[in-house]
Amino acid sequence: MKYRYEQLYLGGEWRNSASGQSLTVVSPIDETPIGVATLAAPSDVDSAVSAARAALHLPEWAALSTGERADLLDRFADELEKNSTERAVLTTVQNGMPIGVSNWAEGDGVVGLLRYYTALVRTVPMEERRPRVDGMGTTVVRRERVGVVAAIVPWNFPQILTMFKLAPALAAGCTVVIKPSPETTLDAFELAAAADRAGLPPGVLNIVTGGPDIGEYLVAHPGVDKVCFTGSTASGRKISEVCGRLLRPVTLELGGKSAAIVLDDADLPTLVQGLATSSLLNNGQTCFLSTRILAPQARHDEVVEAVAALAAGLTVGDPLDPDTHVGPVVSQRQRERIEAYIQLGKDSGAVLAAGGGRPDRDEGWFVQPTVFGGVSKDARIAREEIFGPVLTVIPYRDVNDAVSIANDSEYGLGGTIWTSDVAKGLDIARRVESGTVGVNFYNLDYGAPFGGIKASGLGRELGPEGLAAFFNLKSIFLAE
Ligand code: NAD
């Protein structure tokens, strides 16, 4: 097997796991095993958390000035940059992400995001003196690192979603225990290797592997100060229950079912070009995708035709080929789930306008990009997160109806507005109940908060707000 990671990274050392077991990662491209990684036991989580706690007090980490810490993290970024291409390939072979997306998000994006936070933290004062409002002295307001952070990540964008948590946490001076997803465990070891080469002090970054059981153990561990989770809403609810009981701060980036509102003045070529990423990025396995396309009744058929032509024209195939638009979905289980939704769509009376089956390939967990037209806003395929390349086109009467359909969702993570009038688009974007919305395109901005409302999550990542989440604030009152 090409990739073998037989030891865990705990307390700055590569160590055998206590479980003596390993997990195998199978590539969705050809359904063959591509790597093995050692599997952590609960006692390895104990070791990781205690190493992370100890590192909070190590002079070579705790005594660094903000600038020195940022310099060290810049060296970590340099190390990650040296194998960006290999790390991008590693994501693609694990989860089927088209290589162009992997290079951009998982290769270069990881490095760029870390550098964004090292630059930002240099500008943040760790202590401020404020004159008291009552005029009777001064208050010193301090930013103090939260402590040990547990970071639990899913398989769809494994490296960049890890960095969403790791970069601001480390920039703030926290220490981190990462639990990757079993489907994409391998890349976490490359992250650890880069941290090791960069000279991060022992215990600042630790990796524990495993499934939900190890995740649950980590979330509830007495030595953890904060939990950062990206994954499904169902798992997020369980984690927030535990954190609620423990009064442990938690950020949750969960699922979505975002709406693309196509206005009657929308330019169809712009729409079609934009939807390829804003609605189908990463084989439809991206949390913020606008998978409900709301079309004015008068333009419904035209929109369905254009979106169906887009879906039918995408190249489905080997995600390592730079010309491929759509690769396989991550696992056989995920394909079965998606296919069950496609069947629901067919049974619902909606019109199948593109796809609906598997492409003509002998191996790999592929699903054809699929488009349903004339979908009722109440159909399950219009309400539930499918997490695959399946789009629904829903007709609406007028703009108020479109906004009300968009907001009639348990989720609130992304969304897009398509119009020739950007001012009108901005106006409607303000009315959409969601953490993020794009006008005529959608792309996250590292400098701006990202996250959801309702069942899409709690808290925000990215931007200065994402860094602030890793500080506790302390006020010290002085009488003079
Ligand atoms: P998942 O919830 O099954 O697993 C995510 C991670 O959590 C994995 O590492 C898993 O092992 C771990 N885990 C599962 N249950 C746990 C528990 N009770 N306690 C602790 N850890 C636990 O999600 P998934 O199937 O890997 O990912 C797909 C989901 O993630 C989709 O619903 C998608 O929308 C969501 N997602 C959201 C965002 C976002 O930023 N909002 C980004 C990517 C994916």
Q: Decide if pLDDT at 69 tops 90.
A: yes
Q: Decide if pLDDT at 36 tops 90.
A: yes
User: What average pLDDT does range 22-39 have in this prediction?
Assistant: 98
> What band does 1 get if pLDDT is binned at 50, 70 and 90?
confident
User: What average pLDDT does range 403-407 have in this prediction?
Assistant: 98
pLDDT per residue over 247-277, tens digit each? 999 999 999 999 999 999 999 999 999 999 9
- pLDDT at position 400 is 98
pLDDT per residue over 316-356, tens digit each? 999 999 999 999 999 999 999 999 999 999 999 999 999 99
Q: Decide if pLDDT at 401 tops 90.
A: yes
User: What average pLDDT does range 217-230 have in this prediction?
Assistant: 98
> Could you write out the three-class secondary structure of 166-231?
HHHHHHCCCEEEEECCHHHCHHHHHHHHHHHHHCCCCCCEEECCCCHHHHHHHHCCCCCCEEEEEC
- pLDDT at position 219 is 98
Residue type for position 265: D
Listed residue (417, 357, 432) closest to 388, CA to CA: 357
Token pair, residue 123, equals 């500008």
pLDDT per residue over 174-197, tens digit each? 999 999 999 999 999 999 999 999
Listed residue (367, 338, 363, 373) closest to 355, CA to CA: 367
- pLDDT at position 14 is 98
- pLDDT at position 173 is 98
> What band does 383 get if pLDDT is binned at 50, 70 and 90?
very high
pLDDT per residue over 104-138, tens digit each? 999 999 999 999 999 999 999 999 999 999 999 99
Q: Is 363 labeled as catalytic in the residue annotation?
A: no
User: What average pLDDT does range 359-364 have in this prediction?
Assistant: 96
Average pLDDT, the chain: 98
Q: Decide if pLDDT at 162 tops 90.
A: yes
What are the backbone dihedrals phi and psi of residue 259, each rounded to the nearest 5 degrees, phi first?
-110, 140
Q: Is 228 labeled as catalytic in the residue annotation?
A: no
Catalytic residue, chosen from 287, 339, 385, 461, is 287
What are the backbone dihedrals phi and psi of residue 124, each rounded to the nearest 5 degrees, phi first?
-95, 120
Q: Is 348 exposed, middle or buried (0-12, 13-18, 19+ CB in 10 A)?
A: middle
Pocket test for ligand 1, best of 245, 287, 331 (most atoms within 8 A of CB): 287
Pocket test for ligand 1, best of 230, 240, 450 (most atoms within 8 A of CB): 230
pLDDT per residue over 142-158, tens digit each? 999 999 999 999 999 99
Spell out which residues line ligand 1, taking CB within 6 angstroms. Answer: 152-156, 161, 179, 181, 211-212, 215-216, 219, 230-232, 235, 238-239, 253-256, 287, 385, 387, 413, 452, 457
The percentage of residues in the chain with a pLDDT greater than 90, rounded to a whole number, is 100
Separation between Cα atoms, residue 301 and residue 307, nearest integer Å? 10
Token pair, residue 26, equals 């199978």
- pLDDT at position 396 is 98
Residue 28's contacts (CB-CB under 8 Å, 6 or more residues apart) are 95, 96, 327, 328, 329, 330, 331, 364, 365
